[in-house]
Amino acid sequence: MTNCIEVKGLCRSFDGFALKDVSFTLPGGCIMGLIGENGAGKTTTLKCLLGTIRRDEGTVSLLGCDPWSQPRQAKAEVGVVLDDCFFHDSLRLKDISAILAPVFPSWDDGLFRDYLDKFQLPEKKTVKELSRGMKMKLSLAAALAHRPRLLILDEATAGLDPVVRDSILEELLSFVSDEEHAVLLSSHITGDLEKIADYITYLHRGKVILSGPKDEILERYGQVGCSAAQLAALEPELLTRVRRGEFGCHALVADRAAFQRVHPELPVEPVTLDDIMLFVGKGEAV
């Protein structure tokens, strides 16, 4: 399995914000979810990956090419879906092929029409007549119709109902059934990522605080509910973050098995990605 994305030591600073030493790899045949609070640097990371903004330091490889120094090669096989539909409002869906075919040498008009059909997008409609969900499906149809090997999606399912989201997720899963393909998507809907992602990268204030196989993360991490007195007696090295409430405390543990060996009397509950984000965003360091 070759890597479709390799990012090492990526840095980019703006006034008041810095993306620091971001590194991750995405193997072929896999989906990676990029998560993080508002302003954590997800879009900035994706823009650096796509070469639409310059990076200050680090290396980026998209399908073996550097998007900044080899923009054409790097982007030829990358499909991009952003949270806004980039087609002009007055455009009819049936005219989109004529515009995109000269841009993408591998554009497949038949495939584009198949997707319009599959996503129930009427060819005669103009873009302004589409709902938000339909526009997202149109963007995905256009991204897929030039037969990319890599899909990069930024908040592409935000604001969509569960049925539309589910059909988009199914499409992404079917896309990565080819081991040469991969998907990187940023999302705040962590439940969707728990369903489809193989890897998770979690950005917090411009830094990667967690990156790895999703199942390993969810198996390794856990939470312990206890009283303030019990919490005070626990070994700090076994805990990652704590949350103190009126009715008790919760501690995030990064190694459930290690904690359980030392404290078999305290049950460790499973956590979701949202739970981990709440511990990081609202909890305290130990």
In angstroms, give the least distance from the CB of 45 to ligand ATP. 7
In angstroms, give the least distance from the CB of 97 to ligand ATP. 31
* CB of 97 or CB of 139, closer to ligand ATP: 139
Strand pairing of 78-81 and 150-154?
Answer: parallel
Strand ranges across the sheet with 284-285: 269-270, 222-226, 248-253, 241-245, 284-285
- Choosing from 1, 2, 9, 14, the residue that interacts with ligand ATP (CB under 6 A) is 14
* CB of 17 or CB of 227, closer to ligand ATP: 17
Q: Of 177, 219, 180, which Cα lies nearest the Cα of 196?
A: 177
In angstroms, give the least distance from the CB of 48 to ligand ATP. 10
Letters for 203-232 (x = contact with ligand ATP by CB under 6 A, - = none) are: ------------------------------
Euclidean distance between CA atoms 44 and 53, whole angstroms: 8
* CB of 186 or CB of 240, closer to ligand ATP: 186
In angstroms, give the least distance from the CB of 22 to ligand ATP. 11
Classified as helix, coil or strand, 271 is coil
Euclidean distance between CA atoms 272 and 122, whole angstroms: 39
Q: Of 201, 138, 170, 146, which Cα lies nearest the Cα of 5?
A: 201
Q: Are 154 and 186 in contact (CB under 8 A)?
A: yes
Euclidean distance between CA atoms 136 and 164, whole angstroms: 9
Beta bridge partners of 153: 81, 185
* CB of 151 or CB of 224, closer to ligand ATP: 151
Report how far Cα 233 is from the mean position of its chain's Cα atoms.
Answer: 38
* CB of 55 or CB of 263, closer to ligand ATP: 55
| Residues contacting ligand ATP: total by CB under 6 A | 10
In angstroms, give the least distance from the CB of 121 to ligand ATP. 26
In angstroms, give the least distance from the CB of 261 to ligand ATP. 37
In angstroms, give the least distance from the CB of 133 to ligand ATP. 19
Please report which residue ranges of the chain form alpha helices under DSSP H. Answer: 42-50, 71-76, 96-100, 109-118, 132-145, 162-175, 190-196, 214-220, 228-233, 256-262, 273-282
Q: Are 60 and 184 in contact (CB under 8 A)?
A: no
* CB of 186 or CB of 223, closer to ligand ATP: 186
* CB of 19 or CB of 134, closer to ligand ATP: 19
In angstroms, give the least distance from the CB of 256 to ligand ATP. 29
* CB of 48 or CB of 145, closer to ligand ATP: 48
Interface of this chain with ligand ATP, residues 18 to 77, rule: CB under 6 A: 36, 38-44
- Residue 17 interacts with ligand ATP (CB under 6 A): yes or no: yes
Q: Of 208, 201, 283, which Cα lies nearest the Cα of 250?
A: 283
Residues at the interface with ligand ATP (CB under 6 A): 14, 17, 36, 38-44
